[in-house]
Chains A and B, each alone.
Chain A
């Protein structure tokens, strides 16, 4: 029954996708309005099919229908309800099912948003491309990754195998994968409009405006997904770190890097009409990298701790990737040169020049991550050599790039478009630079070490001071001109240019994360000790004593917890219980760390072995500085993204007596916002 509903829904979605894609493509090619309108009607069909399939799977999971192979492999009777629901994305087939649903939602939302432009070939082509992508994923589910396959034996088992032990250990599992997928899948929308712009030859800046929100939404989800993934690693994997440069992690970082580059370079195109081909390429690359990441991690070509499922869909994904990439390149080859505009950048001290430098660094960052991830594959293919690339390489290569990006983030937002004089720059950067250097001096005086760390602290402070100055000057100007209170002035200022101020909020989040990464990568204190009951160890001011072990057995797992009393400076901070669990389905034991979080540092306790013959447990104790700021930084980035999405409110200009001061204030605010002053003579050149 459930199987029938599921399979029927998948067939419905795939049929809707192929019909819609074909009808829309024909309609758009012929400029036939009736066909284009007809084609749009298949979008809800795809959505209904996707919802039906996911609902059937959830029904099957929650009713423990072990006649389905997927349910049998990923759920057991003892699995808690939360992890029964999340089992939908615990393995390959279900993940693709979720992918299909999210994609269908994006397509439907886009179709709704552009309902007034249904007769526009640009929209029709874009929808056709989206449906083509959807077709691929639904075809995967009807072919090699069928989630509704029956269990092999004719007798329905009484109990399932349960989810992978690592996946039923932490509630973050409920949020991390859907966020990540919402990010990945969302880039289908800008990609489809980019392709549509290439096909129709309507290469103004229209497609950018059309997809700005979709790109932002996708980028925001991807950011949150990556941060949650790091958090999950930190809370579950038990080695005290949050990022291991693992292929799966890299696969999520790659599209984020190109998408972030795009977020910046798109402004150059909007403002100056330059970089059209480059922006198209970044959007296409972002989408292609989401597929490449899926291929790398799901085809079994690369081994990873996060790769919970593999199958023979590798060939399908690679062919799809080839079609996407080579098809896009053909279009760029045919159309690209007609797209180009004879733009120029007037001064290296300008916003647009800073964006170019930013793009260069992001491209280099992406190249480092890509090469580091695929090089072992290439070495094996070309020279039959087995090599590994890990943290030392990524650290050495990305630290200078990260420092460079922090520097740009501190300087670029105060640069006006087109050109600036040295005097203006000296004026605006004086205070932030002084703050930055002062912070460096203070951290060094307090014993900070490491070039990259100290540079990150200084540049982080530089950047925050610059952003603070930016807000301060803007609010001050409004208060003077409009006699508003601070809160009201700040609120209205943000509403007047949410994109600018939202972007600055995102930058604050990035600085927090950058500083936390610098601190935790440089100053973690870690000890691995054997402790008998009553023994204690002191590390970075924390005294940790072993009180004894407790064993708990449930249907789901059996767990040995070590009771550890934690004290600092004579204060009892309570008892923490890192544990090791054995799941009936898994051969290896899974450790669950216990973390005491504070603003300054985390005490991270992780059990490596249960009591041996001498009654000693193995325990790893780490003190990781500033970790909590990683998660706060992620939340701030999400907040900034939301601010960017707020519609801009245009205010009426000031009139009457205050007009003189008002013009000054608006000019000052515009100046901070990087706008060109009206009297700037170069404005004339811009329109030419």
Chain B
């Protein structure tokens, strides 16, 4: 029996094949999603920024040419940031005397400047802390939360990215990826 004379059967068979494949594809997506987060910026130039420093003055991305540095988005009310804090302290202690390496914190979604100052003083934050009052930096870096950390090499290229709190080892690894050691 030719297809032309049995259009309903032909149509049903075609529809069954197409929809069957569709269902199989849907099935593969159940429970999907999530996965590890990556950053689009890795491999490309660091976004330009020019932000006020907590202690006064300002710092621009152009000032950091030739330096290998980590940019850490954080704030004082985020619990995972507090968990990450010892690793950052250790990193700063290890590289404090190396002029070619810097750690820079950017306060993301600041709620109270006083609380930031209090935290910086109480928890021994000795690295440069930048403020992002307009939110331009958090968007330029493509962040969706905190903490998030980026490693930038001396040529101003983003080399590594960490979503969520990093360990000491991870921070060192990021620095190494950016050629800081």
Contacts and interface: CB of A to CB of B under 8 A. Distances in A.
Is there direct touching of A and B in the complex, by C-beta distance under 8 Å? yes
Interface residues of B, number: 24
Nearest to B17: A329
Contacts of B32: 301, 380
Interface in B14-39: 15-16, 19-20, 22-23, 25-33
Nearest to A382: B25
Given A301-B30, A377-B29, A380-B32, A318 B12 contact: no
B25 A337 contact: no
Contacts of A325: 19, 23
Interface string A244-261: 000000000000000000
Contact of B30 (A315, A322, A339, A374): A315
B181 interface: no
B13 to A, nearest CB: 6
B120 to A, nearest CB: 18
Contacts of B20: 322, 326
A318 B23 contact: yes
A295 interface: yes
A378 B25 CA distance: 7
Interface residues of A, number: 31
B16 A381 contact: no
B23 A332 contact: no
Nearest to A313: B30
B16 A337 contact: no
B122 interface: no
Nearest to B112: A613
B26 A339 contact: no
A333 interface: yes
- Which one of B6, B20, B30 has the highest number of Cβ atoms from chain A below 10 Å of its Cβ? B30
B26 A377 contact: yes
Interface string A286-300: 000000000100011
Contact of A333 (B5, B8, B25, B33): B8
Contacts of A300: 30-31, 33
A329 B31 contact: no
Contacts of B27: 315, 318
Contact of B28 (A322, A329, A330, A381): A381
Contacts of A339: 8
B25 A314 contact: no
A649 interface: no
A332 B19 contact: no
B25 A332 contact: no
A473 interface: no
B7 interface: yes
B125 to A, nearest CB: 22
Which of A326, A333, A339, A382 has the most chain B CB atoms closer than 10 A to its own CB?
A333
Contacts of A336: 8-9, 11-12
A464 to B, nearest CB: 38
Contacts of B7: 337, 340
A333 B9 contact: yes
Nearest to B8: A336
Given A314-B31, A326-B19, A337-B7, A377 B25 contact: yes
Contacts of B33: 300-301, 303
Nearest to B23: A322
Contacts of A315: 27, 30
A399 interface: no
B6 A337 contact: yes
Contacts of A301: 26, 29-30, 32-33
Tell which of A303, A335, A377 has the most Cβ of chain B within 10 Å.
A377
A321 interface: yes
A315 B28 CA distance: 10
Contact of B13 (A333, A377, A613): A333
A382 B28 CA distance: 10
B80 to A, nearest CB: 14
Interface string A541-571: 0000000000000000000000000000000
Contact of B8 (A321, A326, A332, A382): A332
A170 B7 CA distance: 51
A377 B26 CA distance: 7
A168 B27 CA distance: 34
B32 to A, nearest CB: 7
Contacts of B13: 329, 333
Contact of B16 (A277, A314, A329, A377): A329
Contacts of A382: 25
B29 A380 contact: yes
B144 to A, nearest CB: 13
Contacts of A299: 30
Interface in A414-439: none
Interface string A302-337: 010000000010110010011001100110111111
Shortest 8 CB-CB contacts between residues of A and residues of B:
A336-B8, A333-B12, A314-B30, A332-B12, A329-B16, A329-B12, A301-B29, A333-B9
Given A337-B5, A337-B7, 12 more contacts: A295-B26, A301-B26, A301-B33, A303-B33, A322-B20, A326-B19, A329-B15, A329-B16, A332-B8, A336-B11, A381-B28, A381-B29
Interface of B: 5-9, 11-13, 15-16, 19-20, 22-23, 25-33, 113
Interface of A: 277, 295, 299-301, 303, 312, 314-315, 318, 321-322, 325-326, 329-330, 332-337, 339-340, 374, 377-378, 380-382, 613
12 contacts: A301-B32, A326-B16, A330-B16, A332-B11, A333-B8, A333-B12, A333-B13, A335-B8, A337-B5, A337-B7, A377-B26, A613-B113
